[in-house]
A and B are shown apart, each in its own frame.
Chain A
């Protein structure tokens, strides 16, 4: 028989499993798992209906530390396994956990297709710009010149922008978070969860052992206000320690520029207002790079469309309606048959 094991209201602790966490001390993953547990507690996600599915890498150990269902799979393939799971049971609430190598290198193809199909799940990409679990090789998001065991003279290939990739794949929800923003990150996860369809979240995560400080130029406390912008729907794109910096369209060009309000005749009315349903704007925001621009954090794009599993099951349901009580014996006998006496 079923025994009700859940208390009335689930707390953050109820989402943590009893397994010992094995990430390096100081790893950004700790704060991400805490942010996730907080987000789930805030939305009171039912444990039994929640499944974390991951690939391979440091980030992909994540499911072991959650008290929900979890499946630690193989390198790069979590999105495909999650697609099958969601098709089999659309009632499940699925989170895919991946890293920059897992999602963008070995699993790039599957990430592309899960996004364009719009399978209703949350895809969280922990981007630390390095391969951690294999001891520090450069990744597809590493900056040019990254010195690593496999690139002792520095890496030479251009890095990929995870967020721009997601937008290019046709993702209908694209957001960014930072491991060191413990209040903001759960909110991003909650927005991703609320979105019906594939929600893509890139989390800038610090690898303390192999790539420490990779994001310091826009995440460190002393520079964060001037080098990142927390975007919010319908709010002007203003940032800076003095809240006097803004983003506007460069006159006569399809590109953004940073301007100072009250200088050169710029007023707040000139500043772009964030519209998360505008894909062109989302693409421009995703493209902003430090130091010329602040790095855009928050929900860059959100414009729901029909989900893949809903459309798949609509076809199944239509066939079931058109052929009630299907009978295999009947099916086998539906073509030309003959009787041997």
Chain B
């Protein structure tokens, strides 16, 4: 919270705050992610700007009560523009001792802790690694605490409603939600509606969960009457007028791809293989068959990219999605797509690595893999999304570039962007310009290697077209005829044209703009991907002190915007902030011979605003 005043709303004294960070935490089976997404929805409906950060373990159901089984969902909301999920929580909801243990160190001093005392048994305390009860030994004295037996109160609220004991206990996340709704004066109706829809076939579950929400809320009201706890108001943010919804990055990728193929006038062949955190693209698209989208769960990552490429060969747009380890397996087929010059969209939801790494944690460490990670000279297009909703626009752009230039396009998103959600001003899909694909049909002078003089894109003759029968393959092809050619000068020419085609795309993408601040100054922080939020907020804060600091966010990783080099040279210092050991910075140094400094983090967690801010101030001091 950065500022507060007291206001009276409907007879209740509510302390007005500008922005708040709430973290829900519990066992991975406690329904924390659902609790978080419900709070997100009602917060969005209340008109706040917001950003979320779901953080869960790789295990589906880790042993109950353990610290490594803790699942968390953080939401940052406010009456001002919210760009990040927040550095440190103001409120921590801990549904068991392990959740308290893992998350307490992050909590702001003076922050509010809501704990379920019903779970603070000797056994659970021991499992969490507590020697004695933190609720009793004074270790929470720096914080405010609402200690309530959520488990017991929930069981009382839902008794006689027809649930088993196990099902009844599972309602306690809704009790906690009701309590937090009371804390921030939220409407319960959207959650009631959602519960009724979700459990329409088991109304007793819906009724019980609603009873739990109401009981949690009622508990808050009782506490309030006793004057023990303050309640808050977060005024609606000044947000651009329009129709909004919340969207996760994975949904935005899928919808963007669906919109992209529509704009290209194509059908989509999507082939994927389950992998965290990319599987959601397959799940979402498999529900969109009415849009003439074929989805295929392949036997492995290689088969997935190959089936997608086979789809492109047949005149649909082949799309595949994976994460770093899966992309590694797809590499040879991506090389084939480059060689035969067929369009292909490859979504990489990056995660922490190498190898299996931390599957549910985020990182930006596949930039080298995307830009350089193939055998031989094999350039392709790389673009990156900056926020959950931005995935929609980037996915459309990926389909545009893939089909216009007959090339694979790698769309980089990451685990954080995939799972996080934000309010999204709904675009009018009909108003997005079309980029229709034209397939050749004229046999007169036909060659499979015919190129557009301007884009250098090969034409796309599709099997089934009479008279255009031809052969393509991964062996080097004659520039003129498309037939096999082992000729030395031809290979030089083909290598050159493959490079020139991708380089030329720099003419077809927007010039790099300064995202925040002036086009010259003392320090510029350069970022890409999901670091957008913390960087822009940090730059804003340092600017507020009168410093000449700017933020440049790069969407087009390869080819880079053609004015980027000259733009960067207008700043005395360049900081490149990325969640890797320094990958974009290597590309920028190599392309522009600039003396950039890296700000790097690979903890599996997004940058904090304060970390970026500190790096900028340090750079200004030097």
Q: Which A residues have a C-beta under 8 Å from some C-beta of B?
A: 1-6, 17, 19, 46-49, 51, 53, 63-64, 66-74, 77, 80-89, 91-92, 109-110, 112-113, 312-313, 315-316, 319-320, 322-323, 326, 328-329, 331-333, 335-341
Contact = CB atoms under 8 A, between A and B. Distances in A.
A89 B463 contact: yes
A69 B469 contact: yes
**A-B interface, 9 closest residue pairs, ranked by CB to CB distance from nearest:** A84-B310, A72-B473, A84-B307, A80-B306, A88-B314, A70-B471, A323-B290, A81-B310, A319-B289
Contacts of A84: 269, 271, 296, 306-314, 318
B442 interface: yes
Given A74-B333, A77-B333, A323-B290, A340 B240 contact: yes
Interface of B: 41, 44-45, 47, 190, 194, 236, 239-246, 255, 258-259, 262, 267, 269, 271, 288-294, 296, 298-300, 302-304, 306-316, 318, 332-333, 335-336, 340, 426-430, 441-444, 463-475, 483-484
A330 to B, nearest CB: 9
Contact of A48 (B304, B310, B469, B484): B469
Nearest to A6: B466
Contacts, number: 221
A335 to B, nearest CB: 6
A316 B294 contact: yes
Nearest to B240: A340
A328 B291 contact: yes
A67 B469 contact: yes
A110 B465 CA distance: 28
Given A110-B303, A336-B190, A338-B244, 13 more contacts: A1-B442, A66-B471, A71-B310, A71-B340, A74-B333, A80-B304, A83-B306, A86-B310, A110-B306, A316-B294, A326-B288, A337-B244, A339-B241
A83 B318 CA distance: 12
Given A69-B463, A315-B289, A80 B475 contact: no
Contacts of A68: 469
A316 B290 CA distance: 6
A91 B310 contact: no
Which of B303, B427, B475 has the most CB atoms of chain A within a 10 A radius of its CB? Answer: B303
B289 A316 contact: yes
Nearest to B291: A326
Contacts of B429: 328-329, 332
Contacts of A339: 241-244
A323 B290 CA distance: 6
B47 A83 contact: no
A86 B269 CA distance: 10
B473 A73 contact: yes
Nearest to B466: A48
B306 A81 contact: yes
Nearest to B242: A340
Nearest to A66: B471
Contacts of A74: 306, 332-333, 335-336, 474
Contacts of A19: 471, 483-484
B484 A85 contact: no
A251 B483 CA distance: 59
Contacts of A47: 466, 469
Contact of A2 (B269, B466, B475): B466
A91 B463 CA distance: 10
Contacts of B333: 74, 77
Contacts of A2: 441-443, 466-467
A328 B307 contact: no
Given A83-B310, A88-B267, A3 B467 contact: yes
Nearest to A78: B306
B243 A319 contact: no
A340 B79 CA distance: 13
Given A329-B430, A336-B190, A88 B290 contact: no
20 contacts: A2-B442, A47-B469, A48-B465, A63-B473, A71-B310, A74-B306, A80-B302, A83-B298, A87-B294, A87-B311, A88-B311, A89-B316, A113-B303, A312-B296, A328-B291, A336-B190, A337-B426, A338-B45, A340-B242, A340-B244
